[in-house]
Chains A and B, each alone.
Chain A
């Protein structure tokens, strides 16, 4: 399946980095119906893992009530320009994607 990457922006201010992500995903709750009246199956991101220089710093667990094309922002301390940040997700159907950046 054609899964799109996570868009990430990260900026260091002092020793704190502010990371913002936007990840394309339908985040279907499973309670909506399509035009034929059938339920659209639940399809949503369950786990988001955030790495800073390859170490896990934050894990988010989501239900289907997080909005479509989820936005997520978090802050890490002890960050410097040049550090790497990677955000990856797994959804309830086992699909995954990720994105990574170098902090400015």
Chain B
């Protein structure tokens, strides 16, 4: 399988699979290319294209500093930023960094929680997208081998 996709290909295929549903004013797409990408930069390209990315502490990104077990790490992303249409969770060191994407409908709050697998100690990133901008907050999560043989 050819894994050297050009950025343009990504953006084109993104448009091709875009599906409009009953989210007033919100377009979402199953950007499969993003889930297959092996690097955070590629994930960001597919999901957000040319949109500017700004670091923001207005995103509450709850993740443990040291994960009890890398197989089930509780993660919460919440923000009061207005006009959020999408939230994405990315784990830099995972073989496929994109973990989850949430399309936030008008009647939903930008506040989601789930549990994710983190393969090894990594920087974790939460992206929050509005119509014209992407905000990002990140933190480090350590994944250890326990004592007693783990």
Query: Does B associate with A?
Result: yes
Which positions in A face B, CB cutoff 8 Å? Answer: 16, 29, 31, 46-47, 50, 52, 55-68, 70-78
Query: Which among B22, B102, B107, B115 is the interface contact of A71 at CB below 8 angstroms?
Result: B115
Residue contacts A-B, CB under 8 angstroms, 11 given: A59-B105, A61-B100, A63-B98, A65-B99, A67-B73, A67-B114, A70-B114, A71-B114, A74-B109, A77-B108, A78-B107
A56's partner among B21, B102, B109 (CB-CB below 8 A) is B21
**What 5 A-B pairs are tightest by C-beta distance, nearest first?**
A75-B109, A67-B115, A73-B113, A61-B101, A63-B35
In the complex, chain A residues whose CB is within 8 Å of the CB of B22: 55-56
In the complex with contacts A31-B95, A56-B23, A61-B30, A66-B114 CB distance below 8 A: yes
Task: Please give the residue numbers on chain B whose beta carbons come within 8 Å of chain A beta carbons, in ascending order.
Answer: 21-23, 28, 30-31, 35, 71-74, 91, 94-96, 98-105, 107-109, 111-118
The CA of A103 and the CA of B104, in the complex, are separated in Å by 20
Q: How far is the CB of A50 from chain B (nearest CB, A)?
A: 8
Give which listed residue, B31, B71, B96, contacts A67 with CB less than 8 A: B71
Number of cross-chain contacts by CB at 8 Å: 99
Among A16, A57, A73, A77, residue most surrounded by chain B Cβ atoms (within 10 Å)? A57
**Other A-B pairs beyond A50-B108, A58-B102, A59-B21, 12, CB < 8 Å:** A31-B95, A55-B22, A56-B105, A58-B108, A59-B102, A60-B100, A63-B100, A65-B117, A70-B114, A71-B114, A74-B109, A75-B109
Bound complex: CA of A55 vs CA of B95, how far in Å? 35
> Which chain B residue lies CB-closest to A63?
B35
Instruction: Name the residue in B31, B72, B73 with the highest tally of chain A Cβ atoms < 10 Å from its Cβ.
Output: B72
Rounded to whole angstroms, the CA-CA distance of A89 and B99 in the bound complex is 16
Specify which chain B residues have a CB less than 8 angstroms from the CB of A31 in the assembled complex.
Answer: 95
Query: Known contacts A52-B107, A57-B105, A67-B72: does B99 contact A72 (CB below 8 Å)?
Result: no
- Cross-chain contact of B116 among A56, A60, A65 (Cβ < 8 A): A65
Residues of A within 8 A of B115 (CB): 66-67, 70-71
The reply to whether B100 and A66 form a contact with Cβ atoms under 8 Å apart is yes
Measured between alpha carbons, how far is A31 from B94 in the docked complex, in Å?
Answer: 12
Contacts of A52 on B, CB cut-off 8 Å? 107
Bound Cα distance A65, B74 (Å): 12
Distance of A57 Cα from B104 Cα, bound (Å):
7
